[in-house]
Amino acid sequence: MARYAQPDLEEPFAEFLHKRLGKWQPDLVVPVGSPAGRFVAKFRNQLFPQTPIVYTGMDRRTLPPDAFANNATFVGEDFKLAGLVEDILQLAPDTNHIVVILGATPLERYWTAAFRDAFEPFADRVRFTWVNDLSFDQMQELVSKLPPHSFVLLGLLLRDASGVTHNEDDALQRLHAVANAPINGLYQNQVGLGIVGGHLYQGELEGQEAARVAIRILRGEPISNFPPKIIGTLGPRYDWRELQRWNISENRLPPGSTIEFRQRSIWRKYLGWIVGGLTMICLQSVMIALMFVQRRYRQRIQADLRRNQDALAHITRTTTLNGLASSIAHEVNQPLTAILCNAQAAQNFLADESFKIEDVREILQDIITDDRRAGEVISRLRAMVKKEDITFRSIDVLDVIRETVLLVNSDAVLRNVRVSVDVGATLPHARGDKVQLQQVVLNLLVNAFEAMKDVPVEEREVLIRTEVDDAGMVHIAIKDCGVGLTSDSLEKVFQPFHTTKYNGLGIGLSISRSIIEAHGGRLWAENNSPKGATFHFTVPVNGQTA
């Protein structure tokens, strides 16, 4: 009736229904949409003289005045068409051009006339473009090349001028894909399909209310119990994504507006979980305080122990770096020596009247490069020595390894040790404290160097391998070619004050294991075949709970 209106076929269709209804009479007639509503109102006396009628899915003005005179009611809209333009100007006051999308059927041409009359008061401010005589392809072409300060208003699209029928929601999404201006519509269900939003009509609620009335009538209530009901707009409703896309400030929205599809912050997204978690923590804290007062003392002891462990870890780190002092000094001294030589060379060049400026530039560039090299060594050393609170965050394990290898590079050279890194495929970031993990890697590397001091020079090699293990943890293995460990030393080496070094404290590996366990990982040792040992440790992937 709507897409293919043929007035000359209404009479034959009514006759067909009349004959069909001779043997079957409905208990209720519900015309949905204004074409069906007008048909029922026109032929009601012939077809349904006593049957209750519930008109729905239409604007009341599309029905004749006497449509509700006999055993009929109405659940539908009363479109305030001027409000559609007011909504657009509320969002974008500088709008001076609106393209109104309406199709070519008699119903759509009826609404075109109604829209024109309602929009007349805005004619001195806004130019309106009507597309009844265009195909949908031409409509898409039009909305893709609109001038600035334009808006698109989708009214009704059942069939375009070329005779092609359309599903309005699909048409809206296709227009949205190509439009270079914001789009608005009439119905609340279109929020999320491409419109910006405003005071929208509740098509779904209209259907629900009409169904409730129909059910009650079918259960025996008289239709007189149901006066005509207008389903108006809810509160103003907007699509946050469209506001962002078209740079429409939320300050332009009416008070009390609802914004959908907002990309919430982590706090807003998990507010319920956070509040629930905090509530549980508070309840547990109260229970613990009431039932286990003695735990307070234990907690203070544990806090002191953690502080002492952190302090001990810092001392161990500083002690380890102390042992590397000569090699680090060598690492810094090299670029400083190069800077001095380059500066002296520059003086000599300048003393010679035939000097070339390009030679001086090259010398200055060398000085800059060597200065940066020395600065990087000092920065790495400073980060390791600096005492800060432990902070767990997302870290690149490869950066941790590379920076630590650079820190011990000179010591490796002095000891004739080759260090190589074997990186697994796409290593994810881990969760941990960068400085503490560097301390673990540093301690394991220094131990590996020490374990190979009696090994022939050509065999002194350390391999660092990284991968993700079967449990989804980042796995780092440091393999040396030293003397290895005795079977009873594989676990003893992690006990405090157990050492095989002449001047060792025996706390390096113990502190390292404490650090890794605090990260939610594991540190262990294995002997290699035929010689040497490999120290392994794991840390959780960022986002994985320990």
CATH of 82-199+237-260, one of 3.40.50.880, 3.40.50.2300, 3.40.462.10, 3.40.50.1000: 3.40.50.2300
> Are the C-beta atoms of residues 360 and 346 closer than 8 Å to each other?
yes
* pTM: predicted TM-score of the whole model, two decimal places: 0.50
Class of domain 324-386: mainly alpha
Question: Please, where in the chain does CATH 3.40.50.2300 lie?
Answer: 82-199+237-260
Cα gap 111→115, rounded to integer Å: 6
Burial category of 275 from C-beta neighbours within 10 Å (exposed 0-12, middle 13-18, buried 19 and up): exposed
Which residues of the chain are in CATH 1.10.287 domains? 324-386
C-alpha distances out from residue 427 to 96, 440, 464, 467, Å: 54, 19, 14, 6
d(CA 220, CA 238): 41
User: What is the pLDDT tens value at each position of the chain, 546 positions in all?
Assistant: 667 777 788 899 999 999 998 888 899 999 999 999 999 999 999 999 889 999 999 999 889 988 888 899 999 999 999 999 999 999 999 999 999 999 999 889 999 999 999 999 999 999 999 999 999 999 999 999 999 999 999 999 999 999 999 999 999 999 999 999 999 999 999 999 999 999 999 999 999 999 999 999 999 999 999 999 999 998 999 999 999 999 999 999 999 999 999 987 677 667 778 888 888 888 887 778 777 767 666 666 666 556 555 555 555 545 554 554 544 554 555 556 656 665 666 666 667 666 667 766 766 776 676 566 556 556 555 555 555 566 788 999 998 898 888 878 877 888 889 999 988 767 899 998 888 888 888 889 988 998 898 899 899 999 999 999 888 899 999 999 998 888 777 777 877 655 655 455 556 788 788 888 888 899 999 999 888 999 999 999 986 544
The two tokens of residue 353 are 């009247």
Q: What's the order of all strands across the beta sheet hosting 229-230? A: 53-59, 72-77, 229-230
Picking from 505, 520, 413, the residue whose alpha carbon sits closest to that of residue 473 is: 520
What is the C-alpha separation between 296 and 401, in angstroms, rounded? 40
Q: Which fold has domain 389-546?
A: Heat Shock Protein 90 (3.30.565)
Q: Rounded distance, CA 157 to CA 135, Å?
A: 11
Query: What is the location of CATH 3.30.565.10 in the chain?
Result: 389-546
120 CB contacts (<8 Å, ≥6 apart)?
Answer: none
Identify each DSSP E strand in 243-328 by its residue range: 258-260
Architecture of domain 1-79+201-232: 3-Layer(aba) Sandwich (3.40)
